[in-house]
Structure 1
Amino acid sequence: MRACSKFLFKSNNFLNLKRFLCTVAKCKFDVALVESTNEALEAGRYKHRHHEGRVSSGCISVPDSIVSAIVKSCKDYPLKALTTEGSKLDSIIRTRKAPLEQDELRKRINKVRQDVGQEFYSKMNVEAMTEEQTEHLSKVIDAQSMKRAKQKIYAWKPINYDEFKGLQYLLGRSATEYAVLTQIFDEIRKRVPEFKPRSFLDFGSGVGTGTWAAANLWREHIFEYVCIDASAEMNDLAELIIRGGESNRNMSLRNIFYRQFLPASQNTKYDLVLSAFSLFELPTKKTRLDVVENLWNKCDGFLVLVEHGSSAGFSLIDEARQFLTNKNDSSDCEYHIFSPCPHSHQCPRVSLADGTPCNFEVTYNQLPLGNSTEASKYLYSYVVFRKGAASAQQDKYPRIVRPTLVRSKHSICRMCTAEGDLQEVIFTASKHGKNLYRCARASKWGDQLPITIGKKAL
């Protein structure tokens, strides 16, 4: 079935769908709605579009109080110019790649030099050249190699956020990041309503979008916010926003602290730990994994890791996911992947090796500062770990990993299952029943589907 799924996941056109149906005819599955969901629907306790697997949050907007604080924080700068520069910075961040390891960087540079050398030597009679000519040619090859290496090899460098660049980030990225984090946190709140975090740690907190999202959902429960960002200017800006854009006002949240470094103590634990759009800023794989381990050691509930939904962003999330999953084998502490994966196996996207990242979509409104009023969409990759055993049945529900294809009298859902496979199911009312069919039609990309999937004996 994995091979069948790989074929269709690359294309949605009708011809490929028809071929897939012929190929999958030999793969038969028992697909059934979870009994508790079926009973609730029959009893009319909720509608199909509100089944417990629905986690999408709709179109998300930054709260008016935050928008007002943003405007006041930018009062000394031209808002239009800041918005334009913020859009440019957003484009840079969306196309960012992780830094190459030193060994890999040397290999690529040497390969470029080797290719350039072969091009030059193939056109010249090296044996007839004098020593001075050979030395000059070597310098020319070195110069040409450096020029080509700069063109072909991604030159990572950290982004240094001063006061002005922090404001650019605020206008260019805050609405996007707030929407992503709100959608992730809201899923935690919906699936685990008894979770009431008392403390929150945000690594790479930036302008404070993580704090805004956490406070919007759990303000009455969180009594301590710890925000870590290497830029003192970003910390100052984040604090200014919490003060409503006026430095002499009281903070709107209690017990919020801004630091430039992670606390050294390993004894202090936090119920909710976040690293959002920060792993790209770390220079090596070892540094990234050290930070992930440090954050995990400080976590006493949920650890949330988020990056942009590009192949590069997904690779960093998968790197951290594999690291913590392998750590589970030697750890005394029991924990599991809460979201989005319904399993702890290798991500099937990686095993497909087709260059398609595992990502999800959020719909949000840009800041109402003269920008387009149309809703925007953003792709992100993430993983949420939770301490404790996976006890809830919902932890194993298949996750819809691409948009649901709603067609006449049938709907197509492409899902990641508890077995670590990508599977596609074509739902019809006649084959699967009215309740399951309507639940599938109402489900969106990123939702869970409350079903069980089992193979039939041929």
Structure 2
Amino acid sequence: MATVRGLRHLLTCSRWRRGSGDAPQSRTLAAVVPGISQVDNNSDFLGKTPHRRHPGILQLPCIKVPPALAAAAQFLLLESSMPNVEKQVQALTNYLWSRRLPVEPQELQRRAVHLEKKFLENPDLGQVEEKLHEAVLRALRKTTYHWQELSYNESLSLVYMAARLDGGFAAVSRAFHEIQARVPEFQPQTLMDFGSGTGSVTWAAHSAWGQSLREYLCVDSSAAMLVLAEKLLKGGSESGEPYVPGVFFRQFLPVSPKVQFDVVVSAFSLSELPSKADRTELVQTLWRKTSHFLGKEKSPLDPRPGFVFAPCPHELPCPQLTASKPLACSFSQAYHCIPFSWVCFLGMLGNRGQLSALPEVLLPLTLLSKFHICATICCPGVHSRF
């Protein structure tokens, strides 16, 4: 998520410068990802390798959006002449940060039953069913998060672009970079982005695999967002040649189950669905449309072969979520300070044991003394704290 300082940089630059089914049996791990990086954690593989070339260092240096994308965003912001842009960006940023998932019907029912039992202890309410019903509803309204679907019109889409364009680009670039680092020979030809928004995934994918990608499908329910993403590709105008060729925009997912893509991405979109059932159904749909990598937040329920590729070094239940104070793993990438969670599944025959993975550092290092640091890491077999 862009900070106000990041937005000010955007404004300053322009003002003063102006189908489903099992995979074929022949598709083995080596055939799909022949160049996958293998690391022996038990050997002294860094004997003659400097620390800066450690295979576990996957953090990118400070990321900047492509100049063409930055220029198009600057042009659109100035052309819109929106008043108090920075305040609107900060308000949307705060709202998105505080936004939570909607309460499930089962949870709402459980809370209602609990409140009803509590109010039954009051003899005045217990004698009148209507009063009891009103008291329960009143208490639910006060204590329940009121989730509302975001509807992105033209103006809100521009504010969202100013708030999260660079952050979304950096987050997805970091995920793509890990795929590139571990599978250097993987050259995808097709990509689908569900909940494409401003199109930052397309720009990040083009930066990573621009020479091989020939088709990008951007799917978003907001027509205004699709128009904005297309304008960004064309330098801020509705006409002209797009900076990234082969990009198509749709408001709905492809109907045919036979249509698959090498890479399927759902960045910051699953949390916008109204229920767990909707999220589960979408995950299953996206998984069926994935031929190699699926970048998303939840585990697929499709029986088709596949496993977690990154960033988790294992397929066990996340120890961060089973702790006394659950906290999902998050990562940050320079240029913006937003932490983001991601997971990548590899759809193919094989198992996790065919891959070697280094532990992931989950939290910032704590310096305890001159010669002692404390790190929380996620290991292939166990959650450890050193």
Fold match (TM-score > 0.5): yes
- Tell whether 2:139 aligns with 1:168: no
Aligned length: 345
CA 1:221 to 1:102, structure 2 compared with 1: closer, same or farther past 3 Å? same
From the CA coordinates, give the structure whose radius of gyration is larger: 1
Shift of 1:284: 1.7
Picking from 293, 309, 329, the partner of 1:338 is 309
Aligned to 2:8: none
Matched position secondary structure for 1:350 = coil
Tell me, yes or no, if the aligned pair for 2:41 and 2:358 is still in contact at 8 Å: no
Q: 2:62 aligns with which of 51, 59, 63?
A: 59
**Does the C-alpha gap of structure 1 residues 336 and 36 become closer, same or farther in structure 2, counting only changes over 3 Å?**
farther
1:304 shift after superposition? 0.3
Cα RMSD after superposing both structures: 2.4
State the TM-score, normalizing by the size of structure 2.
Answer: 0.82
Q: For the Cα contact (< 8 Å) 2:203–2:244, is it kept in 1?
A: no
1:62-95 deviation digits (Å, cap 9, x = unpaired): 2221111012222343356233212211221222
Match of 1:89 among 88, 92, 110: 92
CA contact (8 A) 1:200 1:224 kept: yes
Q: SS of the residue aligned with 2:74? A: helix
Residue equivalent to 1:253: 244
How big is the shift at 1:204? 0.5
Higher strand share: 1
Cα 1:82–1:264 shift into 2, 3 Å: same
CA distance in 2, matches of 1:296, 1:200: 13
Query: What residue identity is the alignment partner of 2:316?
Result: H
Unaligned runs of 5+ in 2: 1-39
Choose which of 37, 44, 62 in structure 1 pairs with 2:45.
Answer: 37
Letter in 1 for 2:375: C
- What is the match of residue 416 of structure 1? 378
**Aligned 8 A contact 1:203 1:229 in 2:** yes
1:97 Cα offset (Å): 1.6
Q: Give, as a single letter, the amino acid of the residue that structure 1 aligns with 2:384.
A: Q
Partners of 2:53 and 2:142 in 1: how far apart?
51
Q: Distance in 2 between matches of 1:205 and 1:250?
A: 20
Match of 2:275 in 1: 284
- Map of 2:37 onto structure 1: none
Stretch of structure 1 that moved more, 228-237 or 102-111: 102-111
> Alpha-carbon deviation of 1:98?
1.5
Q: Which residue of 2 aligns with 1:77?
A: 80
1:384 aligns with 2:341: no
Partner amino acid for 2:43? E
> Are the structure 2 counterparts of residues 246 and 145 from structure 1 closer, same or farther at C-alpha, using a change threshold of 3 Å?
same
Q: Would the aligned equivalents of 1:86 and 1:173 in 2 still touch at CA under 8 Å?
A: no
Instruction: Tell me what 1:229 maps to.
Output: 220
The structure that is helix-richer by fraction is 1
Unaligned runs of 5+ in 1: 1-31, 42-46, 128-133, 306-316, 365-375, 426-458
Residue 250 of structure 1 aligns with an amino acid whose one-letter code is E
Paired letter, 2:310: S
Separation in 1, partners of 2:365, 2:106? 43
Q: Which amino acid aligns with 2:151?
A: N
Normalising to structure 1: TM-score of the pair? 0.70
Distance 1:199 1:126 in 2: 63
